[in-house]
Amino acid sequence: MTNAKSSNIIYGIFIVFTMLVIGIILAFKGTKERESSSVDYDNSLSVGGYAVKINNCIYFTDTNEIVFTFKYKAMVGSPTNSIPEIYSITYSLKDELNSKLTYKTQDNSDEEQLVTCTDFDKDLYYIKVNFISKEPDYYDQDTYDDFGDVVKGAFHEGKKYDSYVQIDVQDMLKMTKNEYKTYTTQAPVTATEESSAADKVIDPSGTFVITTTTTPMTTESSEPATTTSTASKNSHESTSQKKTNVAVKSNQDHDEQQIDEPYVYTTEPRRYEDNDHYT
Q: Is residue 124 part of a domain?
A: yes
**Given a cut of 70, is residue 26 above it in pLDDT?**
no
In a domain, 248, yes or no: no
Domains in the chain, number: 2
Which has the closest alpha carbon to 71: 116, 115, 126? 115
Is residue 253 situated within a structural domain?
Answer: no
Question: Is residue 220 located within the same domain as residue 97?
Answer: no
Q: How far is CA 152 from CA 89, 135, 147, 157, in A?
A: 40, 21, 14, 15
Same-domain check for residues 151 and 227 = no
Check whether residue 56 and residue 179 sit in a common domain.
yes
Closest CA to 40 of 27, 22, 54: 54
- Burial class of residue 220 in the structure, from the number of CB atoms within 10 Å of its CB (0-12 exposed, 13-18 middle, 19+ buried): exposed
Across 179-197, average pLDDT: 62
Task: Tell me the pairing of strands 173-175 and 201-202.
Answer: unpaired
Residue 153 pLDDT > 80, yes or no?
yes
The three-point CA angle 67-70-71 to 5° equals: 145
DSSP 16-48: HHHHHHHHHHHHHHHHSPPPP--BSTT--EEET
Q: Which of 118, 152, 185 is the last residue of a domain?
A: 185
Q: Are residues 175 and 198 in the same domain?
A: no
Cα-only R_g, the chain: 44
Per-residue model confidence (pLDDT) at position 252 = 47
178 in the same domain as 117: yes
Cα distance between residue 184 and residue 21, in whole Å = 47
Pick from 128, 156, 185: which residue ends a domain? Answer: 185
pLDDT at 209 over 50: no
* In a shared domain, residues 50 and 128: yes
Distance CA 118, CA 6 (A): 66
pTM (two decimals): 0.54
**Residue at a domain's end among 152, 185, 218:** 185
Nearest of 30, 34, 91 to residue 59 by alpha carbon: 91
Lowest-confidence segment of 42-56, 67-81, 92-106 by average pLDDT? 92-106
Would you state the pLDDT for residue 15? 75
Same domain, 178 and 202: no
Residues 93 and 116 in one domain: yes
- In a domain, residue 22? The reply is no
| 85 and 209 inside one domain | no
Residues 110 and 70 grouped into a single domain? yes
What's the CATH code of the domain at 89?
Answer: 2.60.40
> For residues 15 and 59, which has the higher predicted lDDT (pLDDT)?
59
Residue 100 structural domain? 45-185
Contacts of 193 (CB under 8 A, 6+ apart): none
Average pLDDT of the chain is 74
Residue 150, domain member (yes or no): yes
Q: What is the pLDDT of residue 187?
A: 57
> Has residue 275 got a pLDDT over 90?
no
Alpha-carbon gap, residue 175 to 173, rounded angstroms: 7
